Amino acid sequence: MEIEIATIGGYEEVGRQMTAVRAGTDIVIFDMGLNLSKVLIHDNVQTEGMHSLDLIDMGAIPDDRVMADLEGDVQAIVPTHGHLDHIGAISKLAHRYDAPVVSTPFTSALVEEEFDDEEKFGDANELVTMDPGESMSIGDTGQVELEFVNVTHSIIGAINPVLHTPEGAVVYGLDKRMDHTPVLGDPIDMERFREIGREGEGVLCYIEDCTNANKQGRTPSESVAREHLKDVMYSLEDYDGGIVATTFSSHIARVSSLVEFAKDIGRQPVLLGRSMEKYSGAAERLGFIDFPDDLGMFGYRRSIDQSLERIMEDGKENFLPVVTGHQGEPRAMLTRMARGETNYTLDEGDKVIFSARVIPEPTNEGQRYQAEKLLGMQGARVYSDIHVSGHLCREGHYQMLDALQPQHVIPAHQNMSGFSGYVDLCQDEGYTLGRDLHVTSNGNLIQLVE
């Protein structure tokens, strides 16, 4: 059976991931993501009403025109998890394909919100959910199967899809950390990866997330971030003023730890901000997390204002607002607090906890720096970098290669400089550039089996 890989997006950048795999005449698409920085560099661009081609020209969403060269039918669109760089283009591109969107329940809920927000295109695609550990048949040959292997990432519901073909398995390895104690949800299913590496024809091809490929060692477990966060929050137990925390809204495990430790030190947690409510609300509705009954979540301006007003009235020493703005985004809650634009007043000595890492890009670093300056001008004390990455570092990559023993490897989710550490590793492990190690770019076709 012919096996061909189309590397559509995310092979020259982090963002706008999209890859298609053709097995015979059946095609499966993995991810349709958005590169938000390509949108934000322009003033006043609203993507909701924009046409796909304009977004493609901006470099914001994958240029899927190479799909025309793939002979076959798209049978499924499979987002691996609910981050925007993996699902943010679905509402712009999926309608072109007569295929369902297949994902885990939490991812599916977020895809549905994407369709709901879309103004230009409707939601033409059926949403199908499948749990980690399960499989479904693809196409009519009876020879191709799609499996979801449970992985751990900084969002719940993350999987690595595996396309089983008569020529071996194609493992799409974006995005994951190798976490055996993930705080929320199941550990990464390394046993299954090892089985896949050894059963049948083994692994024909492994497409790998190179985000941290240049970083040494092992990405720590979420349990390490949790212990770190616990240490910081417990150390503030005696403080009798305001404490504010911020983190990635979609990082439910982290939000859950913040909520729990807030209670432990005698404060009432409150989630504030549109995306805080969106992700945590979805997680709770779907039963992935059971927040305390009295946990407030407020996403709209008026309810947020009321909540902050109540916090100030009741005494801010009794609360932990968990807010958006961990990257210093100019219009996020925390930045507005820092500018004194909300009802919440920061006093000398108040604490701000960034349970997040600064995304290393100068525009972003500038905004974050400015937010911290403004917080400092209000007298706030800042705790930052209480976080672990959601992506494998070098030794995780080493262990994945050892588990899967793939015939071919394709680095993804980075630019050339970001690939370099992974290429070095693969060469040390015996792979050869141009033969079984495929350094490629957006818009290419790689035929593995002819």
List interacting residues with a second copy (CB under 8 A): 12, 41, 43, 178, 180-181, 214, 216-218, 220-221, 223-224, 227-228, 231-232, 234-235, 339, 349, 361-370, 373-374, 377, 381-386, 395, 398, 402, 415-417, 419-421, 423-424, 427, 432-434, 438-441, 444
CB of 164: closest distance to a second copy in angstroms?
Answer: 25
CA distances from 289 to 84, 367, 413 (A): 21, 32, 29
Contacts of 322 (CB under 8 A, 6+ apart): 244, 245, 246, 247, 255, 258, 259, 262, 269, 270, 271, 272, 276
The verdict on whether residue 140 carries a ligand-binding annotation is no
342/367 with CB nearer a second copy: 367
CB of 306: closest distance to a second copy in angstroms?
Answer: 25
- Say which DSSP state 430 is in: T
192/218 with CB nearer a second copy: 218
39/297 with CB nearer a second copy: 39
347/402 with CB nearer a second copy: 402
CB of 337: closest distance to a second copy in angstroms?
Answer: 15
125/256 with CB nearer a second copy: 256
CB of 249: closest distance to a second copy in angstroms?
Answer: 22
Please state at what angle helix 105-117 crosses helix 274-285, rounded to 10 degrees: 140
Query: Apex CA 225: angle with CA 300 and CA 298, to 5°?
Result: 10
The verdict on whether residue 51 carries a ligand-binding annotation is no
Phi, psi of 294 (to 5 degrees): -90, 10
The verdict on whether residue 228 carries a ligand-binding annotation is no
CA–CA distance, 268 with 296 (Å, rounded to integer): 9
The verdict on whether residue 408 carries a ligand-binding annotation is no
The verdict on whether residue 21 carries a ligand-binding annotation is no
DSSP codes, 271-338: EESHHHHHHHHHHHHTTS----TT-EEE-SHHHHHHHHHHHHHH-GGGEEEEES-TT--TTSHHHHHH
The verdict on whether residue 180 carries a ligand-binding annotation is no
The verdict on whether residue 95 carries a ligand-binding annotation is no
Distance of CA 326 to the CA centre of its chain: 15
Query: Apex CA 27: angle with CA 26 and CA 28, to 5°?
Result: 130
439/449 with CB nearer a second copy: 439
The verdict on whether residue 231 carries a ligand-binding annotation is no
The verdict on whether residue 175 carries a ligand-binding annotation is yes
Ordered strands of the 73-78 beta sheet: 127-129, 101-103, 73-78, 26-30, 18-23, 3-9, 444-449
CB of 122: closest distance to a second copy in angstroms?
Answer: 31
CB of 200: closest distance to a second copy in angstroms?
Answer: 23
| E strands present in 96-250 | 101-103, 127-129, 135-138, 144-150, 159-165, 168-173, 203-209, 243-247
46/417 with CB nearer a second copy: 417
263/381 with CB nearer a second copy: 381
CA distances from 54 to 125, 314, 430 (A): 22, 50, 42
CB of 389: closest distance to a second copy in angstroms?
Answer: 13
Token readout for 378 is: 């209000």
CB of 9: closest distance to a second copy in angstroms?
Answer: 14
Residues of each annotated binding site for substrate: 387-391
Q: Which residues are annotated as a binding site?
A: 81, 83, 85-86, 153, 175, 387-391, 413
Task: Return binding residues for Zn(2+).
Answer: 81, 83, 85-86, 153, 175, 413
